Amino acid sequence: MSKRKGIIYATLERLHAMMALKESRYKAKKARRAAGERVWSFTTERIHSLTTRGVYQQHILAFVNWARDSHHITHLEQLDERADELVTAYLTHHIVAGRSPYTLQTERAALRMFFHNRGLRLLSHFLHANVSRCGQWGLWR
């Protein structure tokens, strides 16, 4: 019987698989535009910079530890199933705690990339109540 990977180990493996240090983001963007795709916000769903990897890893591991401690999530598969719900709760907690808009935007970007879900959003009723605080910085696009 094989042992299942722990959530931290599996998280680091997924982050490692997302690395694209020698791949040009510019060339990928240029190729997609040449193919007729017009997007305002472009992503390759890969991490092209060690600095970005370090920042994203810090935020993602903080989220994973929070999910493990607060919701008893012990495997990445469980976290994937509840990603929308838990990311919403996590970011909501940070908004209420007064985290800076820059930090919130970075946390959200890291989690969106990690879960391959550009649509992660806060619950609409909470968003409407906080438009003055977060909406002006474009955090929820």
Q: Quickly list DSSP for 89-118.
A: HHHHHHHHTT--HHHHHHHHHHHHHHTT-T
Specify if 2 maps to a domain. no
pLDDT at 53 (0 to 100): 95
Specify if 132 maps to a domain. yes
Specify if 120 maps to a domain. yes
> What's the total number of domains in the chain?
1
Specify if 1 maps to a domain. no
Specify if 31 maps to a domain. yes
pLDDT at 138 (0 to 100): 52
Domain ranges, residue 130: 7-137
Give the model confidence (pLDDT) of 87-96 as tens digits: 999 999 999 9
Specify if 130 maps to a domain. yes
pLDDT at 134 (0 to 100): 53
pTM, whole model, 2 decimals?
Answer: 0.78
Specify if 37 maps to a domain. yes
Nearest to 12 by CA among 58, 45, 52, 67: 58
pLDDT at 141 (0 to 100): 46
What are the C-alpha distances in Å from 129 to residues 48, 76, 95, 106?
36, 32, 11, 21
Give the model confidence (pLDDT) of 16-65 as tens digits: 999 988 888 788 778 888 888 776 666 778 888 999 999 999 999 999 99
